[in-house]
Structure 1
Amino acid sequence: MPVMDVRRETEESPTLAEGELVMPMFPLGSHVYLPDTEHVLNIFEPRYRSMYNEILFNGSRRFVVPMCAPNEPGKFASVAAVFYLDDLKEVSEQTNDQVKFVCSHTVIERVRVVRSLNDRVWGDRSSFLKVVTEKFEDCDLDDDFTNKETALEERFRALIDMQEKVDEPIRFTKDVELAAPISAKRGKMGFWRLVNLWQSLLQSRVTHRENELQAGIQKMLRKFLEDSGVDLSDGRQLQLSFESIPDDIRAEIQRMNEQYGEERVELLNSAIYPFQYLVQMDSHAERLDYFGELVSEEEKRLAAKNTLRAMFESTE
């Protein structure tokens, strides 16, 4: 989609081509929402309270959620998820009106956003965005890809075993198959479930790396305090100003943050763009091939890790 232009004239009565439909749009950050997934939202902004009232009143119960381009405010992906409102709870009394609704949704389909109708409200937040959409469906719905699907399923199972073998700190567990059989077929609990599992894995790696960084910094500061004669045995919390820390420790903390900053960008990108790429593909066969490439990259990474591990074990 073009970047939001708050100077654009609002289309009050848009002309629609055959198959086009006007829907509300609710940007929810750079997360990519996948088909057949479920999500709960807490609604507090007046404009989105109004949006929910509208979709309940007109009976549509749905709205568009695009991926927001990271670091590019007002730019959204043109192929987006459609949230369907399954359940809404009014909680304003319990939350002193801090939250109006707690809403449960299912992503029921994908649409292509043709154009936005009221960019102006993106600037003043006076209301919610409305967009013209068209259905976005696969071009190979009638084709059979059993061989491709079976091959991907087998590789996914083998990958779970490989992650366990190298003792990956963040990995899939055997419970993945207990919840539902590994399937790359179309439909619920099929291909998109595998993609959702993969997305969760990568997001967990980002969190794990952040925790590692904080633990490393805390360990360094704890040693500095203990070496300075501070008794930390009572478990009390101490606050340190950055200026009170010795230059060598400050330099090391800065180095760690800079190194992590570079890693974080790479980790975050890997948890965003491949999934948007999958969402905007209109071919199940292409998605199977592309997801296979992602699995291949993980296989190579794990194989290299296993080789290094074997080398170190042989020298002991």
Structure 2
Amino acid sequence: MIKSLLLLLLLPVFSRALTSPISYLPLEPTTINTNTKITIIPTFPLGSTVYTPGESVTLSIFEPRYRKMYDHILLNGSRRFIVPQTVVQNGKKLISEYAPVLYLEELKDVSSKTDDQVKYLCSHKCVGIAKIAGVKRLSQPGMDEWMESYAEVLEEEVIGVEDAVDLTSLRSHYKKLVDLQHETTSSVRFTKDSVSTLALSPGKDEGSLWSTCRLWSRFKEQYASNLEREIQEILQVKILEHLKNLGKENTASINFENLPEGLKKDVLEVEKRVREEVRNCVARSE
């Protein structure tokens, strides 16, 4: 039991070592003077989706405004655009201050195969990070123009995360996490061999710390999914036991309001626990 609690405590510690608070800007047009660093860059917001340097990305393009955006970046030869996060906080739409830069590597016109439901199938590489200074032009579904932002594409030497992370401490935290995962027979765990091969190299290629960031992101998703499944199984056993006592074990569904107060309390407590544990694991900074 104590080791299980330590595991839950260590998950957010390691997660915080790979993440930092996200800064946001108002999602509204502004005017900013461009210069040699700050330029106008096509912008393709994809909600909460995040890409990291070195990652390969495939997108299907169907909206008219983004079809035109791709035509534009092909015509001017830049082949680049940014993909910021967008959120709503306190009723206000916001855009992340930093955004991945995607470079278009290959574009296939698949309109004839999809009855024009999808125009382009595009392969990209995330080549860096841009710092957004403000939004030049907004875009909505049905519009002909795509979104544009004022942004500075950061130089390669400043996009590495290794300078902001204590690598020795990170590997130490990771080893403790892996050891506890195996001692507690966690349903989702890293292999012990992965401790020595943990990617901590500088830069943005495969084997860099960015690879570990992606690995950690996949782990969090799988951990949260498994935790939710385990909690559902616990609740299912409790509810089936209740129905069996009533002689209604073949009932296909049951309304929450029809459960006895004690079982309602159990359900709510379990739901609260899974929310807290998932939040601790994911450790997302809003």
Give the TM-score normalised by the residue count of structure 1.
Answer: 0.65
Q: Which amino acid aligns with 2:135?
A: S
Task: Evaluate the alpha carbon distance shift between residue 33 and residue 58 of structure 1 in structure 2; reply closer, same or farther with a 3 A threshold.
Answer: same
Quick one: distance in 2 between partners of 1:195 and 1:51? 30
Hey, what's the Cα distance between the residues in 2 that align with 1:210 and 1:39?
A: 28
Q: Where does structure 1 differ by over 6 angstroms across 4 or more consecutive aligned residues?
A: 138-141
The CA distance in 2 between the partners of 1:95 and 1:34, in whole Å, is 30
Residue by residue over 1:168-210, the C-alpha shift from the partner in whole angstroms, topping out at 9 and shown as x without a partner, is: 22221257589xx433121312221122222222232222222
**TM-score, scaled relative to structure 2:** 0.71
- Structure 1 equivalent of residue 198 of structure 2: 182
Q: In the comparison of the two structures, how many residue pairs are matched?
A: 256
Which residue of the other structure, out of 99, 109, 114, is the alignment partner of 1:80? Answer: 99
Within 2, Cα distance between the matches of 1:259 and 1:161? 24
Counterpart CA distance in 2 for 1:155 and 1:258 is: 27
* Cα offset, 1:66, TM superposition: 1.8
Asked if 1:101 corresponds to 2:124, the answer is no
Q: Which residue of 2 aligns with 1:4?
A: 27
Are residues 82 and 216 of structure 1, via their aligned partners in 2, closer, same or farther at CA, if it must alter by over 3 Å?
A: same
Q: What does 1:1-316 align with in structure 2 at a 5 Å threshold?
A: 1-5=24-28, 8=29, 15-69=33-87, 71=89, 74-119=93-138, 121=139, 127-137=145-155, 156=174, 159-173=177-191, 176=194, 181-187=197-203, 188=205, 189-230=207-248, 232=250, 238-268=252-282, 270=283, 272-273=284-285
Q: Which amino acid aligns with 1:67?
A: Q
2:147 & 2:213 partners in 1: Cα distance? 29
Report 1 or 2 for greater relative contact order, CA contacts < 8 Å, sequence distance ≥ 6. Answer: 2
Query: Which one-letter code corresponds to 2:66 in the other structure?
Result: Y
**One-letter amino acid matched to 1:103:** C
Deviation at 1:264, TM superposition (A): 4.0
For structure 1, list consecutive stretches of 5 or more residues without a partner in the other structure.
Answer: 275-316
- C-alpha root-mean-square deviation of aligned residues, in Å? 3.6
**Which structure has the highest helix share of the two?**
1
Give 1:259 deviation, angstroms: 3.7
Work out the percentage of aligned pairs sharing the same amino acid: 28
How far, CA to CA, are the matches of 2:221 and 2:88 in structure 1? 15
Measured after TM superposition, the shift of residue 109 of structure 1 is 0.6
- 5+ residue gaps, structure 2, are 1-23
| Deviation digits for residues 128-187 of structure 1 (CA, Å, limit 9, x no counterpart) | 21012213237779xx99xx7577557645654453343222221257589xx4331213
The DSSP-based 3-state class of the residue aligned with 1:76 is strand
1:290 counterpart residue number? none
SS at 2:95's partner residue? coil
Given that residues 178 and 191 in structure 2 are in contact (C-alpha distance below 8 angstroms), is that contact kept between their aligned partners in structure 1? yes
Equivalent pair of 2:240/2:249 in contact (CA under 8 Å): no
Shift of 1:28: 1.8
